[in-house]
Amino acid sequence: MAKHKAVMPWGKYKGVRVRHLPDDYLSWLYDLKWDKEWAWLIEAIKWEMRRRGFNTPDLELELTKKREARKMGARKLCLDS
């Protein structure tokens, strides 16, 4: 699905295209924890926020950093034992 044609599948704005959502609702959606099944929706949300000029970090980069931090923490625990 084209990012600009993504439609909200649930919630207050069910049936509304992501591109027509208010800024504050987009920001709220962006901050939610997402399962992989909703990857298409978070991509549409990020695309729309960038289109509007929001300064949003890349979600994948953020997740990669968190994964690496967990790995480093696990390694440290193993070395400390």
pLDDT tens digits, residue range 25-59? 998 898 888 888 999 998 899 889 888 888 766 65
51 vs 79, higher pLDDT:
51
21 vs 74, higher pLDDT:
21
Percent of the chain with pLDDT over 70: 72
- What is the domain extent for residue 25? 3-80
In a 10 Å sphere around its CB, with 0-12 CB exposed, 13-18 middle and 19+ buried, how is residue 19 labelled?
Answer: middle
Average pLDDT of the residues in 2-8: 81
Would you give the distance in Å from CA 74 to the centre of its chain?
A: 26
CA distance 3 to 71: 33
Residue 22 has pLDDT above 80, yes or no: yes
If one counts the domains in the chain, the total is 1
CB atoms within 10 A of CB 6: 19
Two structure tokens written together for 4: 């600009």
CB atoms within 10 A of CB 41: 20
